[in-house]
Amino acid sequence: MRIKGVIFDLDETLWPVGPVIQHAESTLQAWMAIHVPQVSQQYSIEQLRLRRNALVKTNPRFEYDLWSLRHTLLSHVFRELGEDVDKADQAMAVFADARNQVSLYDDVLAGLSMLGEHAVLGSISNGFADLHEIGISSYFKVSLAAHRFGCAKPDPRIFLAACSELGLLPEQVIYVGDDLVLDVFGAQQVGMQGVWMNRQQLNLDDTPHSHVRPDAIVSNLHEVLKCL
């Protein structure tokens, strides 16, 4: 069956996410030093991360809704230290704005334009990056985010929903992502082809999930065209 659609992961597939999160957390910490100083004095970025890791175990929703996880933690901490809890909304707006200041990999814009001439494009992400704010939403017919959809990769439902919104069968779609389990296996379990975006050109057999066998391995978007 001919491939008619390509769905992409976002973080680490279209841009490096580590520097983005570091920048967003530093920006938020600087904002809190001014607007909720008690919090910034009591909690470092690392201490907030530790509390967030503990909080995620308390509610199944936090497994897929990372926005709600961060917002809930900030609300708890603000309340504990006598700060205005309503400022949690402002804090999340600051974090989200910085979270959307990504640096696309060099091949992304040209690659999306090229692929868009041959297939309909979509995206699925477990994060909460805003493609409109980033400036690339026009490339995608559908963009699903776990925190809005209600489950995260590798849950089959989010893959099937994206295919449905594209108007295609899973067998007509390839999924491209950097995570062998969340992306490649997640796509393959519903009948899509799973393509591993291996920008670091790792040896598959040296990875912790070498039992997952991608349908193809690429290191940039231009190579995805061969999968069509």
Enumerate the domain spans of the chain.
5-15+103-227, 18-99
Angstrom distance (rounded) from CA 79 to CA 113: 47
pLDDT at 1: 77
Model pLDDT for residues 106-163, shown as the tens digit of each residue:
999 999 999 999 999 999 999 999 999 999 999 999 999 999 999 999 999 999 999 9
In this predicted structure, the answer to whether residue 221 has a pLDDT above a threshold of 80 is: yes
Model pLDDT for residues 184-194, shown as the tens digit of each residue:
999 999 999 99
Q: Which fold has domain 5-15+103-227?
A: Rossmann fold (3.40.50)
CATH says 18-99 is which class? mainly alpha
Angle at 193 between CA 190 and CA 197, to 5 degrees: 120
Is the fold of 5-15+103-227 the same as that of 18-99?
no
- Give the mean pLDDT of 47-62: 97
